[in-house]
Amino acid sequence: MNEEINNLLNVEGVEGVILTSKDGLFIKGNVEKVNEDVVSAIISAIIGGAGELGNVINDNVKYVIIGGDSSKIMLFNCGEKIVGVIGNVLLEDIKDKVLTLFS
């Protein structure tokens, strides 16, 4: 698991990675100064809600992007895991790597 996270951290612009279960349990990450349990629960709720919206349009949600002023949070639905990537990175630069490493 450390190797996969380190691979993501080596992508230019990636500042942090957090890995959670679908149930909102923290698995691993390198994001400091956050309550990992609370953040994991929020991540799970966001992906769960997005999945419900996906059901409305008969499609699967693979990722959710939350844009900020200077960076973004990208949440990837990877089966039983959710991968959160934080930083100023383009979706095209990270999506395939995340889905290959964790799906």
Domains of the chain as residue ranges with CATH:
2-102 (3.30.450.30)
Residues 6+ apart with CB under 8 A from 55: none
Q: What is the pLDDT of residues 39-63, one digit of tens each?
A: 999 999 999 999 999 999 999 999 9
Sign of the dihedral defined by the CA atoms of residues 64, 67, 68, 74, in that order = positive
Are the beta carbons of 95 and 76 closer than 8 angstroms? yes
What pLDDT does 1 receive? 67
Q: What is the pLDDT of residues 61-88, one digit of tens each?
A: 999 999 999 999 999 999 999 999 999 9
Euclidean distance between CA atoms 47 and 50, whole angstroms: 5
- DSSP letter at 34 equals S
Q: What is the pLDDT of residues 14-33, one digit of tens each?
A: 999 999 999 999 999 998 88
